[in-house]
Amino acid sequence: MADIVIVADPGDAGAAAVASAIAALHADLWVTVVTPASLSGAAWTHTVDRGGATTTTIVLPGGRRIDSTELAAVLVRSEAAPVPRFAKSSTADRNYAAGEFRALMVSWLHSLGSRVINGVDGMGLSGPSWSPQRWLVEAGRAGLPVADSARSSSARIVEGWRGSPYDARRPYLATGTQVGSTNEIAVIAGDVVAADRRGLDPVPYLALAAAARCRVLEVELAGAHVVAVQPVPFRTVTHPRAVNAVAALVARVALTTAGVPA
């Protein structure tokens, strides 16, 4: 039996839906959904040898054991790095502890290589730690139409801007496309693009995912223009096609790791 771990915040309906879909697809895959708080309260043994090879054993509260040598796939749906053990510590100590715990999480995920659905960098747990603006820039580079926007460290230096003296000192962001309830969503899951819009060209979406080293992405569209990208599909947690596409991807990665034909 191959082990799959999904890291998700409490009450994450998307994580529960994907876990259920994986179980329905393959009874021989064992899926565990864990919260960041459970990982923070776990007993960790994380070893990196002189050659850079890493092994990790995590014993969760309650006794569930997660061994890196037995893990087949990991899907991270949270960027949280809580440190409840430091709740009564000073702010400086809490921040330091949170930074150290995040570094431990990143090292663990990075050591798992292709078993982690989205590639991690030095800070991000669910994908690259890009700013919202960087995601839009990368979407444009991939060939997707991106909503016009203007960003400035201070509104007063934006030509034509009018407002109060207080607002003049504040950062300024404006988009040329109105973001509203009619926005559409496209979810990338491996080589599948599940979208509200029919006839969507998948090529630039897959190019964006490749640039981000993410096999799962959610792209928000308004008026056919990209207005936001994030590596965790939040808006489509109950969309059957998106859930099934993500579940099939995670199952395929796990079966490949285990050497079982997908």
For residue 190 the two structure tokens come to 């491996």
User: Which residues fall within 8 angstroms of residue 76, CB to CB, at 6 or more apart?
Assistant: 6, 7, 109, 116, 117, 118, 120, 125, 126, 232
**Exposure class string for 31-43: b at 16+ Cβ within 10 A, else e:** bebbbbbbbbebe
- The size of the chain, in residues, is 262
Q: What is the pLDDT of residue 76?
A: 97
Section 58-65 average pLDDT: 94
In this predicted model, what pLDDT tens digit does every residue of 33-54 receive, in sequence order? 999 999 999 999 999 988 888 9
Q: What is the pLDDT of residue 177?
A: 45
Q: What is the pLDDT of residue 149?
A: 67
pLDDT exceeds cutoff 80 at 181: no
Share of the chain above pLDDT 70, in %: 86
H helical segments located in the chain: 13-25, 36-40, 91-111, 132-141, 165-168, 203-212, 240-258
Q: What is the pLDDT of residue 128?
A: 94
Section 175-196 average pLDDT: 74
pLDDT exceeds cutoff 80 at 247: yes
Q: What is the pLDDT of residue 199?
A: 80
- Reported as a pLDDT band with limits 50, 70 and 90, residue 162 is low
118: DSSP letter: B
* Greater pLDDT, 174 or 26: 26
pLDDT exceeds cutoff 50 at 179: no
In this predicted model, what pLDDT tens digit does every residue of 98-157 receive, in sequence order? 999 999 999 999 999 999 999 998 889 999 999 888 999 999 999 999 987 666 667 667
User: Which residues fall within 8 angstroms of residue 205, CB to CB, at 6 or more apart?
Assistant: 142, 144, 186, 188, 193, 217, 219
Mean of per-residue pLDDT scores for the chain: 88
User: Could you give the CA distance from residue 69 to residue 62 in angstroms, rounded to a whole number?
Assistant: 21
For residue 168 the two structure tokens come to 């003049």
Q: What is the pLDDT of residue 260?
A: 75
In this predicted model, what pLDDT tens digit does every residue of 71-98 receive, in sequence order? 999 999 999 999 999 999 999 999 999 9
Q: What is the pLDDT of residue 123?
A: 86
User: Which residues fall within 8 angstroms of residue 68, CB to CB, at 6 or more apart?
Assistant: 54, 55, 56, 57, 108, 111, 112
User: Which residues fall within 8 angstroms of residue 19, CB to CB, at 6 or more apart?
Assistant: 6, 31, 33
Q: What is the pLDDT of residue 243?
A: 93
Q: In what helix (H) or strand (E) does residue 142 lie, and over which residues does it extend?
A: none
**C-alpha dihedral sign at 246, 19, 4, 67:** positive
User: Could you give the CA distance from residue 127 to residue 120 in angstroms, rounded to a whole number?
Assistant: 5
pLDDT exceeds cutoff 60 at 180: no
Structural domains of the chain, ranges and CATH numbers in brackets: 2-127+247-258 (3.40.50), 132-230 (no CATH)
Q: What is the pLDDT of residue 222?
A: 87
